Amino acid sequence: MTAGDFLALHVPGTPLLLANVWDAGTARQLETLGYRALATTSSGHAGTLGRRDGRVGRDEAIEHAAELARAASVPLSADLENGFGDDPGEVAKTVRLAAAAGLAGCSIEDHPRGREPVVYDPGLAVERIAAAAEVARRPDARIVLTARAEGHLYGKAVLSDTIARLQSFQAAGADVLYAPGLVEASDIETLVRSLDRPVNVLLRPGMTVAGLAAAGVARISVGGAFHLVSLAAVEAAARELLEQGTAGFWEGVRAGLPVRERAFD
Residue 47 belongs to domain with CATH number: 3.20.20.60
Instruction: Please state the domain count of the chain.
Output: 1
- Domain assignment present for 187: yes
- If you average pLDDT over residues 172-198, what whole number do you get? 97
Alpha helices in the chain (DSSP H): 3-8, 24-33, 42-48, 58-71, 88-100, 122-136, 159-172, 185-193, 209-214, 225-239, 250-263
Nearest residue to 166 (alpha-carbon basis) of 146, 184, 140, 181: 146
- B/e letters for 97-133, b = 16+ CB within 10 Å, e = fewer, are bbbebebbbbbbbbbbeeeeebbbeeeebbbbbbbbb
Residue 228 resides in a domain: no
| Residue 199, domain extent | 3-223
Smallest CA-to-CA distance from 36 within 74, 82, 93 is with 74
Residue type, 175: D
> pLDDT at residue 259 above 90?
no
Beta carbons within 10 angstroms of residue 151's beta carbon: 22
Residue 230 lies in a domain: no
> Is residue 88 in a domain?
yes
DSSP per-residue letters across 17-53: EEEEESSHHHHHHHHHHT-SEEEE-HHHHHHHTT--T
pLDDT band at 51 (very low <50, low <70, confident <90, very high): very high
pLDDT given at position 252? 81
Q: Does residue 232 belong to any structural domain of this protein?
A: no
pLDDT at residue 219 greater than cutoff 90: yes
Mean pLDDT score of the chain, rounded to an integer? Answer: 95
Q: Which pLDDT tens digit goes with each residue over 53-103?
A: 999 999 999 999 999 999 999 999 999 999 999 999 999 999 999 999 999
pLDDT score, position 98: 98
Q: Is residue 7 part of a domain?
A: yes
Assess whether pLDDT exceeds 90 at residue 184: yes
Q: Which pLDDT value is given to residue 1?
A: 66
37 in a structural domain: yes
Residue 15: its H or E element: none
Domain for residue 15, yes or no?
A: yes
